[in-house]
Structure 1
Amino acid sequence: MLNTAGPLMNANKVRVQDTFWNRFTELVRDTVIPYQWQALNDEIPDAEPSHAIRNFRIAAGLEEGEFGGFIFQDSDLAKWLEAVGYSLAATPNPALEEMADDIIDVIGKAQHKNGYINTYFTLKEPGKTWTNLYEAHELYCAGHMMEAAVAYYDATGKRKLLDIVCKFADHIETVFGPQHGQIRGYDGHQQIELALVKLSQATGEERYLKLAQFFIDERGADPNFFIEECKQREGYSYWTGKQEPIPTVQQMAYNQADKPVREQDKAMGHSVRAVYMYTAMADLARLTGDQELLAACRRLWENTTKKQIYITGGIGATHHGEAFTFDYDLPNDTVYAETCASIGLIFFAQRMLLAEAKSDYADVMERALYNNVIGSMSQDGKHYFYVNPLEVWPKASDMNPGRRHVKAVRQKWFGCSCCPPNVARLLSSLNSYVYTSSPAENTIYMHLFIGSEANFTLAAGEVAFTQQSSLPWKGEVRLEFTAAPASAITLALRIPSWSRGQAVLTINNVKTEYETLNGYAMVNRQWMPGDTAQWELALDAQLITAHPQIRVNAGKIAIERGPIVYCLEEVDNGTPLAVVSLDYTKGLTSQFDANFLGGAVIVEAEGLADETTTWEEDTPYRPLTLQSETKKVKLKAVPYYLWGNRGEGEMTVWIRKSMA
């Protein structure tokens, strides 16, 4: 029996109030959302046009013109609307709400009578809907519009966009299914599956959950589905505009469609598609009690996060198809690590936490959030990385065709701008990721140490507390209860991997012992209003080594401090960074610099640099001499998320190791 009861999480009962994160949420609210609205309206000078708003206005009959942009351009507007919904839930803004209402009216005018919405097929190829699921992202775009509708309805109570997408979902339900005359297939880019789960929970309609289950169950059940579809088009490809060879079953791994999802055990293919699918699988496993599906989620999680993840929380090793490659293949300089992929990994982690609270999921969620995701956006909120490298040589990015996807500076916008609005919607919904609760078990799990006001309804009664956090610069967290039931409840505090198990709990100024379960300190007691809990975590700069099979990092080390990964930049350490090594026998020193890009802890280390001044320009090689060819240097490491905010230059996360 499918279970649609209850919200996905208690997002509306958590309000972020945090010294570190407020500047990001405020930046999104005050700068990013307005800036992205300008971008969607093609109003950013010298930036690639979006076409997204104009496409909808043309499809609605409000303007004349032709479709512009990529086939999935509708999704950029949908993600922007979703971010607006989350932002309005936290901070009402009548002007922004009116702006959103106006564009929702346009979307409604662009909708077909049967419920279908897609500006590409309305304007560019009418009559060819659902004929190129392999490439066309129709269900992907539909899914993003559904997520936007749910977020906007939750924030405002307005049903217009929700009713629009429900009509669309009803149409999709007639097109896809196992019955005669229906398409027994799925989209090339997963997204609708997780969106239908949200739509089901927002509306109480169990059939939307069943439709999500249909798409998950069908994927890979017949690996020839896309192959036969391509044959019907005689191999015509949207991307090349010509006939291409018919793909093989082996190539279906790119879409995670080479075998049924329950048989998959390695992260393969396009990384964003994969983690979006894994997210939906985890949702369905939890809501339906499907243990086989949950087991597949665990296997895929293990492979993704133990063998195919960067230290920054990035996934996807190659720009060829924005894809995973194979275990331990994690190049630093030709990396892809798309921002959307890390965001999808955060979605997956969150859903696994809802299914089973284990600190490993939260550790990865935190790693991706503090490094890859916020590092993709500049501190002004107006420039973005699509690719998140761990090593940059600007000249190679400009002149080496194999590295041109790696940018040394953030861009104003992209023709394919899936990442910027994805960052906006994630940071606007940050309150959704801090806690989960198990009402029947009277347990509240704290996954992230982010200052917040939280309210929960448990079987025992209402619980409310405030969290004050000094992270990521200090390991001090303080809770104060403002409401508590008359019986005992359990507070589960995550013991982060970076603390190496060193965590001290003090309740009402008395040091308290605790039991651990799945990486959480479990504290069961009857709390009273006014009770305080102090959670002190060891937070020191540490040198990190990579698994021996990660060959590009052999002989190298990285620096971490708490959840933050560090890097060297040319502006602090000179060039080339490749000749620098860090003396691992000496200690690291950390100091907070209030003037460094809004304030951050800077880490310094002793190191060596290869001698470069005696080399002649026309001598590429020379014999190694017995004389010292190195000099001592002081290395300065800065948080990875802040790199590239002080001009163009080299950057590296992994540093050669040496000893004096």
Structure 2
Amino acid sequence: MLTLRRRELLAGAAAIAALPHAPAWAATAAVRAKPLPLAAVRLKPSDHARAVEANRAYLHRLQPDRLLHNFRKYAGLEPKAPIYGGWESDTIAGHTLGHYLTALVLMHQQTGDAEMRRRADTIVGELAEAQAKRGNGYVGALGRKRKDGSVVDGEEIFPEIMRGDIRSTGFDLNGSWAPLYTMHKLFAGLLDVHGAWGNLQALSVVEGLGAYFEKVFAPLTADQVQQVLACEYGGLAESYAELAARTGNARWLKMAALLYDKKVLDPIFAGEDRLANIHANTQIPKLIAQARIHEVSDAPDRAKAARFFWDRVTGHHSYVIGGNADREYFFEPDQIAKHITEQTCEHCNSYNMMKLTRHLWQWQPHGALFDYYERTHLNHTLAAQDPDTGGFTYMTPLMSGIAREFSSAEDDQFWCCVGSGMEAHSKHGDSIFWEGADGTLFVNLYIPADAQWAARRAQLSLETGYPYAGEATLSFARLKPGRFPVALRVPGWAAGKAEILVNGKPAQAQVSRGYASVTRHWKAGDSIAIRLPMELRLEPTQGDDGTVAVLRGPLVLAADLGPADQPFAGAAPALVGADLLAGFSASDPAGALYAARGVARPGDLAFAPFHRQYQRRSAVYFRRFTDGEWAAEEAAFLAEQARLKDLAARSVDVMHLGEMQPERDHDLTSEISYPVVYRGRQGRDARSGGFIEFTMKVKPGPLLLQSSYWGDERPRSFDILIDGQRIATQKLGHDKPGEFIDIDTPVPEALTRGKTSVRVKFVPHDRNTAGPVFGVRLFTQKQP
């Protein structure tokens, strides 16, 4: 049975907001360290500080009344401003406001901007008014699409669910897009406002929401609960655990335990990696919830599951920049080299993995945890924001030559990663300094900053040019003198080659668990510094030594392939030679800029930090060849690259079946149709009596429609139609066992003339299946 810890009740605790060597975990239930409060840390000039200021401008630009539109409308109150577009005009409306509340809190703490707090308190007041008007504890903006296509207040799905009428397709629940995921963002934002400065109205609104959803789940059987949880529900269990910690009320902990997706979590608890082909970010918050439940109730099995998940994701499912997933889905472990695509690394995944990392580190401090955190923080989080515009990426593509796409300056997209982005770039100072239970001062990130350490009445200053320079110096401008340890993280990539100096002189340090620690009587004016070797190295992908990335210290370097607003028509570059690093020379060491001469194919390359290539096309991964291998592979390698580039250049539109966002973007409709996964590739089929239909862009001239199938199917036949006219009858069978096949169908010009888009439809013959179809591409025919 889960019981609340006494220390959590007395403290009223707030939420605790691709490694080669994983840490050796020790069994413990104690939280051994905590970060210095974000409000006590001020950033000095750096890439991180620039990101915070770009994000602060973005948060100021957003209009709270527009985000509150549906909250007021559906409560029967007059909206004060028109609704935003993008996701905020879809049935997932309201998720952004939750993110925005959290971002306002964090930005106020990080910068002291009073307007951030004023906005947060105003929004809480508006939510309380809407909740009171409804009178049942519910408040929300999510919509529900009825069968006739009309969109109404999403609350109407919950009485249906209480009656046992539960219809989930993974991201849709009774016609609403991930409603419990959306509600979690609101829970979390309100809890953050309460935790930051004690806004009791925020806590009251959360308790009303908590009671409402407690009633929704109360009449459900165990199987019906699992039906509901088959639809993405975010970190709602974490919020209930946090609510239990804040209030001391065990009813909320009971709700946290109830929100447990057995299909996904049972294998993780059993120590089994069955992550392949499941939506990545749907799962990560479930493990954050297990971590928080462990902290509140001392449940070691939940801590063990969170650790196992972290180990598997970071060690077997993560790219070199720290992100994970291809087209939002995990794939088989150690298969990175097969999934270097234009849709890698959803930012929400990395944001949540970093949150999970902080939990694990607090239980058992180990430098390897922050090696991962730093890698992701530098190379993915910073890469996911354009500091010139404040826009955010959804995916951070690692396929050579693919440009990053940022959210618009008009703020009309509001993807999930816009929400996590506005949070991430509000708190770059939150994990630099930590205080151990034994009084140790830990430095986990080398980001220039000043900080107040209340326990020692200290003023800290961290001066560094890291990650471009290899030295960082921590000074005590003010300090209550005393004896205590200062522990500086020694990154695993430094291979133990770290020099520690105290007051400018070499010092002996105790090295353990990824830290160099000096214990002495410290006084005001003292300083401690670390020097690290910022050397180039090659890092192979997990499971494939023949595909490598180039790193310098903590930075992932990428080849610059030209401006993002210009097409890239070249082949993906490769590296050839017996000693590849010998071909690299520093062109600007201070900026971590390098030139690769004589070892790159098809020509010499310039390398720069990946995260800074906001408006550039780049290459991160490289096939590695010896001279002899290259001679044998060059022709085939270049021919395949040319074929793919030519196909991409001639493509008008591409549809990835079975994937949430592409299906929404292409307005997919279907009946008796199901998503499938073959060999890690997403697809969709339609059974007898059903269909799949979606919109694709077209352009004038002869076009081909290319459909991708699995080459080893039992016999099946179906028709392909464009705007209601059949263009082909497709028969599948045992054409190419063990391979995917692409089949091209000419599109009659009469069907596209004068149009900008068409509806493509797959209809199975009687007692047959259409597909599965794994991708559809419309592209121009080659001119003779």
Q: Could you state the TM-score of these two structures normalised by the residue count of structure 1?
A: 0.77
Cα shift readout 1:550-599 (whole Å, capped 9, x = no counterpart) = 4xxx53332111221111132289851425535505153334488xxxxx
- In 2, the alpha carbon distance for the partners of 1:333 and 1:88 equals 37
CA, structure 1 residues 18+582, in 2 after alignment: closer, same or farther (shift >3 Å)? farther
Aligned length: 560
- In 2, the alpha carbon distance for the partners of 1:308 and 1:180 equals 35
Q: Is the 8 A contact 1:18 1:469 kept in 2?
A: no
Q: How does 1:54-65 map to 2 (within 5 A)?
A: 54-60=69-75, 61-63=77-79
Q: Structure 1 residue 26 and structure 2 residue 22: aligned?
A: no
- In 1, the alpha carbon distance for the partners of 2:41 and 2:140 equals 35
Of 345-354 and 566-575, the range deviating more from structure 2? 566-575
Counterpart code for 1:194: E
Counterpart code for 1:196: Y
Counterpart code for 2:605: L
Q: Is the 8 A contact 1:144 1:195 kept in 2?
A: no
Cα shift readout 1:21-59 (whole Å, capped 9, x = no counterpart) = 2111111112x2134x15x877xxxxxxxxx44322322
Q: Structure 1 residue 143 and structure 2 residue 184: aligned?
A: yes
Q: Could you state the TM-score of these two structures normalised by the residue count of structure 2?
A: 0.65
CA, structure 1 residues 301+180, in 2 after alignment: closer, same or farther (shift >3 Å)? closer
Counterpart residue number, 1:480: 475
- In 1, the alpha carbon distance for the partners of 2:220 and 2:390 equals 48
Counterpart residue number, 1:309: 318
Counterpart code for 2:420: N
Counterpart residue number, 2:359: 351
Match of 1:500 among 466, 472, 495: 495
- In 1, the alpha carbon distance for the partners of 2:252 and 2:359 equals 15
Offset of residue 451 of structure 1:
2.1
Q: Structure 1 residue 105 and structure 2 residue 125: aligned?
A: yes
- In 2, the alpha carbon distance for the partners of 1:530 and 1:211 equals 51
Match of 2:206 among 153, 165, 180: 165
Q: Structure 1 residue 373 and structure 2 residue 381: aligned?
A: yes
Q: Structure 1 residue 270 and structure 2 residue 270: aligned?
A: no
CA, structure 1 residues 199+469, in 2 after alignment: closer, same or farther (shift >3 Å)? farther
Counterpart residue number, 2:347: 339
Q: Is the 8 A contact 1:489 1:527 kept in 2?
A: yes
- In 2, the alpha carbon distance for the partners of 1:208 and 1:316 equals 36
Offset of residue 356 of structure 1:
1.0
Counterpart residue number, 2:109: 89
Offset of residue 357 of structure 1:
0.7
SS of 1:586 mapped into structure 2: helix
- In 2, the alpha carbon distance for the partners of 1:512 and 1:178 equals 65
Counterpart code for 2:450: E
Offset of residue 640 of structure 1:
1.2
Q: Is the 8 A contact 2:4 2:248 kept in 1?
A: no
CA, structure 1 residues 533+654, in 2 after alignment: closer, same or farther (shift >3 Å)? same
CA, structure 1 residues 409+300, in 2 after alignment: closer, same or farther (shift >3 Å)? closer
Offset of residue 387 of structure 1:
1.2
Cα shift readout 1:480-500 (whole Å, capped 9, x = no counterpart) = 124545542222211112222
CA, structure 1 residues 127+610, in 2 after alignment: closer, same or farther (shift >3 Å)? closer
Offset of residue 535 of structure 1:
1.3
Q: Which has the larger radius of gyration?
A: 2
Counterpart residue number, 1:297: 306
Offset of residue 393 of structure 1:
4.4
Of 368-377 and 341-350, the range deviating more from structure 2? 368-377
Gap regions ≥5 residues in structure 1: 43-51, 221-251, 395-406, 595-599, 612-632
Counterpart residue number, 1:241: none
Counterpart code for 2:37: A
Cα shift readout 1:406-464 (whole Å, capped 9, x = no counterpart) = x654341675611112111122122222233223x222322111222334455xx5554
Counterpart residue number, 1:435: 433
- In 2, the alpha carbon distance for the partners of 1:518 and 1:177 equals 46
Cα shift readout 1:330-373 (whole Å, capped 9, x = no counterpart) = 21125431010010111111111111111121111111111112
- In 2, the alpha carbon distance for the partners of 1:579 and 1:301 equals 32
Counterpart code for 2:70: N
- In 2, the alpha carbon distance for the partners of 1:496 and 1:155 equals 32
Q: Is the 8 A contact 2:244 2:253 kept in 1?
A: no
- In 2, the alpha carbon distance for the partners of 1:22 and 1:307 equals 32
Match of 1:544 among 525, 533, 539: 539
Q: Is the 8 A contact 1:378 1:384 kept in 2?
A: yes
Match of 2:415 among 417, 420, 432: 417
Match of 1:129 among 151, 154, 158: 158
SS of 1:477 mapped into structure 2: strand
CA, structure 1 residues 658+85, in 2 after alignment: closer, same or farther (shift >3 Å)? same
Offset of residue 264 of structure 1:
4.7
Q: How does 1:242-641 map to 2 (within 5 A)?
A: 252=263, 256-257=264-265, 259=266, 262-266=269-273, 268=275, 269-317=278-326, 319=327, 322-330=328-336, 331-393=339-401, 408-412=404-408, 415=413, 417-439=415-437, 441-456=438-453, 462-485=457-480, 487-547=482-542, 549-550=543-544, 555-571=546-562, 575-581=569-575, 583=577, 584=580, 586-592=582-588, 600-608=591-599, 633-641=603-611
Of 153-162 and 428-437, the range deviating more from structure 2? 153-162
SS of 1:428 mapped into structure 2: coil
SS of 1:324 mapped into structure 2: coil
Gap regions ≥5 residues in structure 2: 17-33, 145-151, 628-784
Counterpart residue number, 1:227: none
SS of 1:119 mapped into structure 2: coil
Cα shift readout 1:116-153 (whole Å, capped 9, x = no counterpart) = 12223584344321625763433322321222123333
CA, structure 1 residues 183+432, in 2 after alignment: closer, same or farther (shift >3 Å)? farther
Cα shift readout 1:196-229 (whole Å, capped 9, x = no counterpart) = 344445x34343761464145x431xxxxxxxxx
Q: Is the 8 A contact 1:266 1:303 kept in 2?
A: yes
CA, structure 1 residues 392+656, in 2 after alignment: closer, same or farther (shift >3 Å)? closer
Q: Is the 8 A contact 1:267 1:274 kept in 2?
A: no
Q: Is the 8 A contact 1:88 1:155 kept in 2?
A: no
Q: Is the 8 A contact 2:400 2:618 kept in 1?
A: yes
Q: How does 1:44-63 map to 2 (within 5 A)?
A: 52-60=67-75, 61-63=77-79
Q: Is the 8 A contact 1:582 1:655 kept in 2?
A: no
SS of 1:526 mapped into structure 2: strand
SS of 1:162 mapped into structure 2: helix
CA, structure 1 residues 68+77, in 2 after alignment: closer, same or farther (shift >3 Å)? closer
CA, structure 1 residues 2+533, in 2 after alignment: closer, same or farther (shift >3 Å)? same
Offset of residue 638 of structure 1:
1.6
Q: Is the 8 A contact 1:14 1:452 kept in 2?
A: no
CA, structure 1 residues 579+325, in 2 after alignment: closer, same or farther (shift >3 Å)? closer
Counterpart code for 1:444: L
- In 1, the alpha carbon distance for the partners of 2:298 and 2:154 equals 41
Cα shift readout 1:78-121 (whole Å, capped 9, x = no counterpart) = 10121111112233444444444443333223323221122235
Counterpart residue number, 1:190: 234
Q: Is the 8 A contact 1:14 1:431 kept in 2?
A: no
Q: How does 1:648-659 map to 2 (within 5 A)?
A: 650-658=617-625
Q: Is the 8 A contact 2:267 2:273 kept in 1?
A: no
Match of 1:219 among 233, 251, 261: 261
Counterpart code for 1:127: E
Identity score, percent: 19
CA, structure 1 residues 72+208, in 2 after alignment: closer, same or farther (shift >3 Å)? farther
CA, structure 1 residues 215+503, in 2 after alignment: closer, same or farther (shift >3 Å)? farther
Counterpart code for 1:451: P
